[in-house]
């Protein structure tokens, strides 16, 4: 069965309305009554060609609207929502976790944090022995605390640090970076504002790991030109988590 474009648009609108559970205005993109405005092709066709439109944060843009924007040479700039400010605390929380391959290094880092950086409160997400476990479980445990704002930073250790980094980055709000020396630790914080650090216990020794952690925790985000790029990283995430 062939549908006309306007029929397809109506179907899309019905699906979006059903998912959202509310009536969404389709004639305007800025109605204060809608929690998540819907940008449809009709709205895009009312904009002047060769223009730029700032899509409100959390707005839903239909496929036909994107196609109409492409045909009319209209650039859609999707706005991002600033994360809520977190009140400073006297003791910032660091979530730490590891699989069986990273258990020993996790214990070493816990002792280092307790003795040399007592201003941080460490939350141990496991594992608690060298018995074989699956690294994604512990990467998720750490990452979800950071993503939910219940921990300031997260540290995850497995054999290579790669798998845990992949798993952690699936959690909304997390920017995990695998670091293997102090230079990558500085870069991940200064340029990328990483909030989760992953380490490979089979690739680096305990002394280097401690240096990396200390450097990573002490390095501030550079902001400025880097902020715009990090915002674009988070905007990509929001495309798939709405």
- pTM here is 0.64
**104 in the same domain as 62:** no
In the three-class reduction of DSSP (H, G, I as helix; E, B as strand; rest coil), residue 178 is classed as: strand
Domain that holds residue 131: 92-218
Same-domain pairing of 117 and 31: no
Q: Quick one: tokens of 74?
A: 């209209």
Tell whether 105 and 158 lie within a shared domain: yes
User: CA–CA separation, 22 vs 140, rounded Å?
Assistant: 33
Q: 108 and 72: one domain? A: no
- Asked whether the beta carbons of 5 and 41 are under 8 A apart, the reply is yes
Same domain, 66 and 144: no
182 and 101: one domain?
yes
Residue 228: inside a domain? no
Within a domain: residue 139?
yes
Domain CATH for 168 = 3.40.1400.10
Is residue 73 flagged as an active site residue? Answer: no
Please tell me the predicted confidence (pLDDT) of residue 1: 53
Question: d(Cα 229, Cα 55) in Å, to the nearest integer?
Answer: 18
> SS in 3 state form for 71-100?
HCCCEEEECCCCCCCCCCCCCEEEEEEECC
Q: Which residues contact 230 (CB under 8 A, 6 or more apart)?
A: 175, 192, 193, 221
On whether residue 130 sits in a domain, the answer given is yes
Query: Is 194 within the bounds of a domain?
Result: yes
Tell me, yes or no, whether 236 lies in a domain: no
CA–centroid distance for 149 within its chain: 12
* Run of H or E including 236: helix 225-239
Which tens digits make up the pLDDT trace of 55-66?
886 677 887 888
Helix axes 206-218, 182-190, angle to 10 degrees: 20
Return d(Cα 179, Cα 212) in angstroms, integer. Answer: 8
Same domain for 171 and 71? no
Instruction: Show which of 43, 78, 113 is a domain's final residue.
Output: 78
Domain total for the chain? 2
Angle at 147 between CA 169 and CA 117, to 5 degrees: 100
Q: Which portions of the chain are predicted below pLDDT 70?
A: 1-36, 57-58, 79-91, 242
Q: Are residues 134 and 185 in the same domain?
A: yes
Same domain, 97 and 214: yes
For the chain, counts of helices (H) and of strands (E): 9, 9
Clarify whether residues 74 and 130 are in a common domain.
no
Are residues 98 and 212 located together in one domain of the fold? yes
Q: Name the active-site residue from 73, 100, 128, 191.
A: 191
| 134 plus 183 within the same structural domain | yes
Instruction: Specify the pLDDT at position 14.
Output: 57
How distant, in Å, are the alpha carbons of 32, 143, 165, 232 from that of 171? Answer: 30, 6, 11, 17
- How many C-alpha atoms does 12 have within 13 Å on its Cβ side? 19
């Amino acid at each position: 069965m062939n549908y006309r474009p306007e029929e397809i648009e109506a179907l899309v609108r019905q699906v979006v309305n059903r998912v959202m559970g509310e009536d969404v205005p389709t004639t305007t993109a800025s109605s204060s009554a809608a929690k998540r405005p819907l940008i449809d092709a009709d709205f895009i066709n009312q904009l002047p060609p060769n223009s730029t439109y700032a899509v409100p944060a959390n707005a839903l843009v239909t496929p036909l609207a994107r196609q109409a924007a492409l045909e009319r040479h209209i650039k859609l700039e999707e706005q991002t929502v600033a994360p809520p400010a977190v009140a400073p605390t006297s003791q910032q929380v660091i979530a730490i976790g590891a699989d069986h391959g990273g258990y020993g290094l996790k214990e070493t880092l816990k002792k280092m944090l307790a003795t040399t950086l007592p201003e941080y409160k460490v939350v141990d997400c496991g594992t608690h022995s060298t018995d074989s476990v699956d690294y994604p479980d512990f990467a998720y445990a750490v990452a979800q605390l950071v993503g939910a704002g219940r921990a300031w930073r997260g540290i995850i250790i497995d054999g290579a640090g790669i798998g845990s980094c992949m798993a952690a980055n699936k959690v909304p709000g997390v920017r995990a970076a695998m670091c293997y020396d102090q230079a990558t630790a500085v870069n991940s914080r200064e340029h990328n504002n990483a909030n989760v650090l992953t380490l490979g216990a089979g690739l680096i020794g305990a002394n280097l790991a401690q240096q990396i952690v200390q450097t990573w925790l002490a390095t501030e985000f550079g902001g400025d030109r880097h902020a715009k790029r990090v915002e674009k990283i988070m905007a990509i995430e929001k495309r798939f988590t709405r």
